[in-house]
Amino acid sequence: MIKNFFKENDIKYQEDVSLKKYNTYRIDIKAKYIVFPQNKDQLLKILKHLKQNKIKYLVLGNGSNIILTMDYYDGVIIKLDNLNNINIQGQEIEVEAGCFLPQLAKQISDYNLSGLEFASGIPGQIGASIAMNAGAYNKDMASIVTSVTVINPHLQEQTFFPKDLKFKYRSSFLKENEDYIVIKATLKLEKGNKEEIISLMQDRQKRRLASQPLEYPNSGSVFRNPPDNYAGFLIENCHLKNYHINDAYISDKHANFIINKGKATGKDIVNLITYIQKKVKEKYNIELILEQKIIK
């Protein structure tokens, strides 16, 4: 049994656990197992066992930018929270995949390092944020990443450089090839002034609070902005603010956000997304491209 494997290898795990606190939409579904590897070697051991025994698994970051649609996950959720070491050498930072972006942005301000202010309000971990090329305020992870170390589908360590990662708007080679698991990355930042860095992060936090429905569970921007346009503007002009399917609502504060006002399911959210796309296509003949990832 897989439980015996976890116990024999001193792997921290939980059984039949709700994933509600592990996704930012707060969708309440259960997973058969969730494991928390302590380091890279333990992660490799887990992956090898799961692959050899044909057990399905999902590597989950902070659970932002995803929509869980299954009723029950009959497999193993792998959480990399414990892979969170940070090594700062001058203007270069080596950071493990489980490090939380806002905490990293705040921590490096103590070293007068600038370049990650844009990420101070992105509720993601480094690994997933690099894979999706997370960004805000016209900057993204591609602008600071110099190398990424992954575990490839053959369970070998492999290093990617920016040219290999094929970064594009809210995507990369890693997002399109999910068998590659980020374990650490190197970021190159610039020298700055701590007070100015903190002031900029505080200003952007105020702007987020004023313009985004952070008081409700959500997963950030639902759609990519079309060229020379804004998804929120198009949705709002279709008079869809506050439209809902069960407890999944289009925010009346920002139309490119879907919020969970109670017991929304992943299927409610996906149905709402489909409805939005249909209405925007009818009115503007624009195909809204989903920024979030649907997990079935």
Whether residue 1 is predicted with pLDDT greater than 90 in this model: the reply is no
pLDDT value at residue 41: 97
Q: DSSP label at 84?
A: -
| pLDDT, mean of residues 18-23 | 97
pLDDT value at residue 279: 98
Whether residue 242 is predicted with pLDDT greater than 90 in this model: the reply is yes
Q: Please report the DSSP string for 176-231 in residue order.
A: H-TTSEEEEEEEE-EE--HHHHHHHHHHHHHHHHHHS-TTS-B-S-SBPPPTTS-H
- Match 């805000």 to its residue by tokens: 136
Give me the chain's average pLDDT, please: 96
Band of the pLDDT at 241, cuts 50, 70, 90?
A: very high
Band of the pLDDT at 6, cuts 50, 70, 90?
A: very high
pLDDT value at residue 104: 96
Q: Are the beta carbons of 260 and 247 closer than 8 angstroms?
A: yes
Q: Which helix (H) or strand (E) holds 6?
A: helix 2-8
Q: Which amino acid appears at position 156 of this protein?
A: Q
Q: Which residue numbers are catalytic?
A: 170, 221, 291
259, with CB counted inside 10 A (0-12, 13-18, 19+), is buried
Q: Residue 137's CB: how many other CB atoms inside 10 A? A: 12
In CATH, what class is 86-198?
Answer: alpha beta
Contacts of 36 (CB under 8 A, 6+ apart): 11, 12, 13, 79, 81, 82
Band of the pLDDT at 91, cuts 50, 70, 90?
A: very high
Which strand ranges, in their side-by-side order, compose the sheet holding 30-35? 13-18, 30-35, 72-79, 57-60
164, with CB counted inside 10 A (0-12, 13-18, 19+), is middle
101, with CB counted inside 10 A (0-12, 13-18, 19+), is buried
Q: Percentages helix, strand, coil for the chain, rounded to the nearest 5?
A: 30, 25, 40
What stretch(es) of the chain map to CATH 3.30.465.10?
86-198
Contacts of 139 (CB under 8 A, 6+ apart): 115, 118
pLDDT value at residue 100: 97
Quote the pTM value: 0.94
pLDDT value at residue 142: 98
Structurally, what CATH architecture does the domain formed by 2-79 represent? 2-Layer Sandwich (3.30)
- Model confidence pLDDT, tens digit, residues 23-35: 999 999 999 999 9
CA 14 to chain centre: 22
In CATH, what class is 214-295?
Answer: alpha beta
Whether residue 89 is predicted with pLDDT greater than 90 in this model: the reply is yes
Q: Which amino acid appears at position 157 of this protein?
A: E
What stretch(es) of the chain map to CATH 3.30.43.10?
2-79
What stretch(es) of the chain map to CATH 3.90.78.10?
214-295
CA distance 222 to 292: 6
- Model confidence pLDDT, tens digit, residues 173-186: 999 999 999 999 99
- Model confidence pLDDT, tens digit, residues 102-155: 999 999 999 999 999 999 999 999 999 999 999 998 899 999 999 999 999 999
- Match 């202010």 to its residue by tokens: 117
CA distance 187 to 101: 12
Q: How crowded is the C-beta side of 2, counted as CA atoms within 13 Å? A: 24
